[in-house]
Chains A and B, each alone.
Chain A
Amino acid sequence: GENVEQHPSTLSVQEGDSAVIKCTYSDSASNYFPWYKQELGKGPQLIIDIRSNVGEKKDQRIAVTLNKTAKHFSLHITETQPEDSAVYFCAASPGYSSASKIIFGSGTRLSIRP
């Protein structure tokens, strides 16, 4: 089955700097890669996703890149702000609808230093 590895487990960056979180996956059949942000005491929130037919996707200050050959994908947050502090999870799914199982990485706790 699919295995998703995520690193680093913790990341501290200065406000205004960029943060990068990296994930690798094992199942070459995976074709959907969402990223979730979980704030303290809340459920995970889908912030951006990418499909295997796309190499990069951007939404304001966040971007995701996907390298299918190397089986890795990354989340990039630019101009970090205090409200970016949270736990971020990457995930991978082999299917073409939400009926397909999503496998989550272990999470990265991002702290933004003022």
Chain B
Amino acid sequence: SAVISQKPSRDICQRGTSLTIQCQVDSQVTMMFWYRQQPGQSLTLIATANQGSEATYESGFVIDKFPISRPNLTFSTLTVSNMSPEDSSIYLCSVGRGAAADNEQFFGPGTRLTVL
């Protein structure tokens, strides 16, 4: 499986500010995703990061709040904009090869965000 790193690993931010989270993979991957995991909860897909085009957002998530970049096949960023305490969560990126009959997704270590 790919080695996935995220930066920062954790942060404490003030409300109204923005934070950009980076996801780096050690090999080229077709698919990159961003998830949110609220305290003690399950994982919710925010969006699919598409290389060379706009991300595909899930219902309830919008580009203005969670802008995503994916400049190449090994890197993506997620920005949490105009943060409020409700944005306090773990943000996770995951990757997949995207090959036929290969559904596996692998997760990074996560970014633990606390908004005061």
Contacts and interface: CB of A to CB of B under 8 A. Distances in A.
Contacts of B53: none
A46 B30 contact: no
A60 interface: no
Interface size class of A (residues with CB under 8 A): 20 to 34
Interface string B21-56: 000000000110000000001111100000000000
Given A42-B109, A99-B31, A34 B103 contact: yes
Contacts, number: 68
Contacts of A95: 103
A101 B98 CA distance: 11
Interface of A: 32, 34, 36, 42-46, 49, 51, 89, 93, 95-102, 104-107
Interface of B: 1, 4, 30-31, 41-45, 92, 95-110
13 contacts: A34-B105, A43-B107, A43-B110, A44-B107, A46-B104, A89-B42, A96-B100, A96-B101, A97-B97, A97-B100, A97-B101, A99-B98, A104-B44
